[in-house]
Amino acid sequence: MVRFTLPESGLVAMPIVANSSLPTFDDLRRQGEQILPLEEALDQDIRELHVGLLNMMPDAALRVTEQQYLRLLGSANQIVQIFVHPFTVPGLARSPATQAYIDAHYAPFEQLQEEGLDGLIVSGANVTSPSLDQEPFWDPLRDVIAWASDNVTSVLCSCLATHALVQQFHGVRRRPLLSKRWGVYEHRVVRPEHPLMHGTNTRFDVPHSRWNEITSQQLREAGIDVLVESADGDFHLGTSPDGIRMVYLQGHPEYDATSLLKEYKREVTRLLVGELGAIPPLPEHYLVPEAARIVHDHLEVAITARDAGRELPPFPENRVVGLLDNTWTDTGKAIFNNWLGLIYRLTDVKRGVPFMSDLDPDDPLGLIAERHRTS
């Protein structure tokens, strides 16, 4: 076995390992991402990280979500191989084709419980019930997190997962918004000294797309450490008091530059086929004026064609894509880089053991002890 050594710079970017038949590995390789073949990974003497991806997204977004998180994990500047293990929970509505894909390429949760995970990412989900605790994913998600709380170094939650878990753990219920929070918003780091924020900009953008919110004030009162919020105080990123065991996100650093555009395209299509009764608003702070004009001109032509019974023109996606700016990915990479680095630093060398023996699992970073010493 070849011993892996660091270059003089001290850091290299280690790719995601193609550790299963998941087609997303080939998709990302074709897009220019570094994907390490399994046989090469096994020939390197290095403690790899095993990260679970609990993917609860609906069928249309299942593979896109895989790509977004795998790309973000793989592009984080780490010296460690990353084995990503997608899985899902029972009870979610699936088409036969999607269920066959899951059966072929996703790991059973029971297998991951036996083998062990170092980190866990929990995606959002499609909500169909008036209350989150009535959703089919509610009980299975609680079971996964109950296991992870004892066996995984850190759990990172996306928007809807954050809403569900702060309700389960802290009784904090999300609040409906009068209009959709949809667009790219300026944010500010309020805890720059926190290890997750090392090397990040103090101000940066984050995409949001949601009809509900939890506020920074709600979370602070529940004991959550708020690290990042928008310029007007909207919550984005926070952690459990220990600083690492639970990481909560309300925004979407994993989004591609085109994610909000594709979402807007779906809303326009719904309008034109009669599923929406009003023109959807543009995502805020997302399109430059030229791109917005292209979209408005398309809507005018498309609505006129629909009303006249003529064939609808195609959405001008290719014309708009070249005008999009991405103002959030670099900081998203830095945060994920810090997250992976902390997991690598804290996790025992033996897979399935979440912390090294000399660490307190309830305070692995020593942040709680430090607060007590300085209070």
Q: Mean pLDDT across the stretch 34-39?
A: 73
- Note the pLDDT tens digit of each residue in 318-331: 999 999 999 999 99
Helices (H) and strands (E) in the chain, counts: 13, 13
Higher local confidence (pLDDT), 175 or 78: 175
Q: Of these residues, 48, 213, 229, 254, which one is catalytic?
A: 254
Of 159, 187, 208, 229, which one is the catalytic site residue? 159
Would the pTM count as exceeding 0.85?
Answer: yes
Across the chain, mean pLDDT equals 90
The single residue listed with the structure tokens 């994913």 is 137
In the residue annotation, 159 being an active-site residue is answered as yes
Considering the candidates 50, 85, 252, 298, report the single residue annotated as catalytic: 252
Per residue in 60-108, pLDDT (tens digit) is 999 999 999 999 988 875 567 889 999 999 999 999 999 999 999 999 9
How many percent of the chain have pLDDT more than 70?
93
Burial call 339-372: b when 16+ CB within 10 Å, e when fewer: bbbbbbebbbeeebebeeeebeeebbbebeeeee
| CATH code of the region 2-256+326-374 | 3.40.50.880
Half-sphere exposure of 268 (CA within 13 A, CB side): 23
* Residue 238: alpha-carbon gap to chain centroid: 14
Region 252-274: what's the mean pLDDT?
Answer: 95
CB–CB of 223/241 below 8 Å? yes
What amino acid occupies position 312? L
Q: Where are the beta strands (DSSP E) in 203-340?
A: 203-213, 225-230, 235-239, 246-249
The structural domains of the chain, with segments of one domain joined by +, span: 2-256+326-374, 259-321
